[in-house]
Amino acid sequence: MCAIVLGAPTVLVLALSRLVRRVKGTVEAAPPTHHHHYNGDVVQDSRSITTMTRGVIANTRNQTR
């Protein structure tokens, strides 16, 4: 009975330490995060798209003007 009472916390501590080591290894293996910040004006494309849908079985045709 003493082995169960004293062994359970030991097993729990060993399992938690193993879990922490695995998580730590996963985090270290992850690629670094890159943030890109750009300065200047944003120029959007001046094209307009016209969509026309006709017929019983609809076919959509997008035209770039």
The answer to whether the beta carbons of residues 42 and 57 sit under 8 Å apart is no
Give pLDDT, residue 22: 84
Give pLDDT, residue 24: 80
Give pLDDT, residue 26: 78
Give pLDDT, residue 63: 65
Which strand (E) or helix (H) includes residue 23? helix 2-29
The answer to whether the beta carbons of residues 37 and 55 sit under 8 Å apart is no
Ranges of residues in the chain whose predicted pLDDT is under 70 = 1-3, 44-49, 51, 60-65
Give pLDDT, residue 60: 67
Backbone angles phi, psi at 34, to 5 degrees: -110, 135
